[in-house]
Amino acid sequence: MSHAFVEVQQAAKRFPGATKTAPPLTVFENVSFQLQKGEFVCIIGHSGCGKSTIMNALAGLDQFSDGSMVMEGKEINGPGLERGVVFQNYSLLPWLTTLENVRFGVRARWKNWSEREVTEHSMKYLELVGLKEVVDRKPSQLSGGMRQRVSIARAFATKPKLLLLDEPFGALDALTRGVIQDELVKIWTQDQQTVFMITHDVDEAILLADRIFLMTNGPEARIAEAVEIDLPRPRNRAEIIKHPHFYTIRNYLVDFLVNRSGDLRVQENEPQGMRYPPSINPVNLDAAVDAPTHPPEATPAAGHEEKLVKFTPKEIRHG
Ligand SMILES: Nc1ncnc2c1ncn2[C@@H]1O[C@H](COP(=O)(O)OP(=O)(O)OP(=O)(O)O)[C@@H](O)[C@H]1O
């Protein structure tokens, strides 16, 4: 029996073809991985490879077409309070105020708490994401970044054992993003949560993750590799770029996204069955990639999304 905190085995997702005669779409298949308790894992891959679909399944909001997923030995077959989710699209209740949106989650989590305890705890997390002044506003009266912060506060406040984050910082400006990344690391460290996070930002993934899963392009995507990030903690953005391993890791990830993610399809005659992604430590590979050891050029390669290859050291609060 597996001792992993979360175990996904041979997951696949298929959708019916767009027309009656069109073949079904296999978004991904043969996706198997484990998350260890307390681990911070990021998953990166090009748009459409199925990252959100995997996350929705872990959240219990969708199901795989094949395969299984288990958390602490129990099958995941619906949403649960032990799993907290931050979506790209905030998913707030529009008729509730900012505070009520957070209180809603906190009250559900700790049913025996007094109203005062629920409010105080909710306020603590709203303060943490810098929203103390707007707690009485409804989501429609907030900016996109503010709504995302409410959603982050709600997820953090409920202290789930597994925190599922789908590009949670996408709508935030660089400074706020740095501050909230710091808070996420603090909460993760204090509460010993396990985090599974989708990001398109390579630098963010290196800053936060213990391991980064690299997904090949869809259709028929899979997790090709699990890259170990051996940079010492605590990490801060200003310092890690000076670490001798930083650019080796970064170049390896960018090389995957730009050059290799489309070529790593399952071969026709490759044996099927359970396949965990191999663990890769780019620093220990001989000439891991034929790439420079300085920041990649700011100009993205033709045909690739700018956000994937752009080098943007962001400001971050030192703490
Ligand atoms: N209900 C559906 N019917 C048909 N295809 C779908 C459906 N939902 C998702 N897909 C397809 O599944 C694929 C994976 O979608 P998903 O949102 O998981 O990708 P992603 O890797 O998270 O992308 P992004 O990085 O853009 O968010 C896409 O090609 C999408 O078009």
Q: What is the pLDDT of residue 300?
A: 37
Q: Closest ligand 1 atom, CA of 56? A: 18
| % the chain with pLDDT above 90 | 66
Cross-strand partners of 212: 42, 227
Residue with tokens 């905190």: 5
CATH number of the structural domain 6-41+48-78+200-309? 3.40.50
Which SS3 state, helix, strand or coil, does residue 260 take? helix
For 190-209, write each residue's pLDDT tens digit: 888 999 999 999 999 999 99
If you take atom 26 of ligand 1, which residue's CA is the nearest one?
47
More confident residue, 176 or 294: 176
**How close is the Cα of 208 to the center of ligand 1, in Å?**
25
Is the confidence at residue 146, as pLDDT, over 70?
Answer: yes
Cβ(95)–Cβ(138) below 8 Å: yes
Q: Closest ligand 1 atom, CA of 18? A: 4
> Average pLDDT, stretch 17-45?
93
Which SS3 state, helix, strand or coil, does residue 198 take? strand
**How close is the Cα of 290 to the center of ligand 1, in Å?**
32
Within 8 A by CB and 6+ apart from 184, the residues are: 152, 156, 195, 208
Is the confidence at residue 171, as pLDDT, over 90?
Answer: no
Q: Closest ligand 1 atom, CA of 53? A: 18
Is the confidence at residue 89, as pLDDT, over 80?
Answer: no
pTM: 0.86
Q: How confident is the model at residue 316 (pLDDT cuts 50, 70, 90)?
A: very low
Average pLDDT, the chain: 86
> Average pLDDT, stretch 38-58?
96
> Average pLDDT, stretch 200-225?
95
> Average pLDDT, stretch 173-196?
89
> Average pLDDT, stretch 205-217?
96
**How close is the Cα of 50 to the center of ligand 1, in Å?**
6
Distance CA 94, CA 115 (A): 21
Q: What is the pLDDT of residue 315?
A: 32
Angle subtended at Cα 294 by Cα 293 and Cα 299, rounded to the nearest 5 degrees: 120
**Ligand 1, CB within 6 Å, residue ranges:** 15, 25, 27, 45, 47-53, 218
**How close is the Cα of 124 to the center of ligand 1, in Å?**
35
Q: What is the pLDDT of residue 186?
A: 86
Q: Which is it for strands 40-44 and 6-15: parallel, antiparallel or unpaired?
A: unpaired
If you take atom 3 of ligand 1, which residue's CA is the nearest one?
15
Q: How confident is the model at residue 308 (pLDDT cuts 50, 70, 90)?
A: very low
Q: What is the pLDDT of residue 284?
A: 85
Domain parsing of the chain, residue ranges: 6-41+48-78+200-309
Distance CA 265, CA 262 (A): 7
Q: What is the pLDDT of residue 17?
A: 86
Q: Which amino acid is at 120?
A: E
Q: Is the ipTM of this complex over 0.90?
A: yes
The strands making up 74-75's β-sheet, listed across from edge to edge, are 25-35, 6-15, 66-71, 74-75
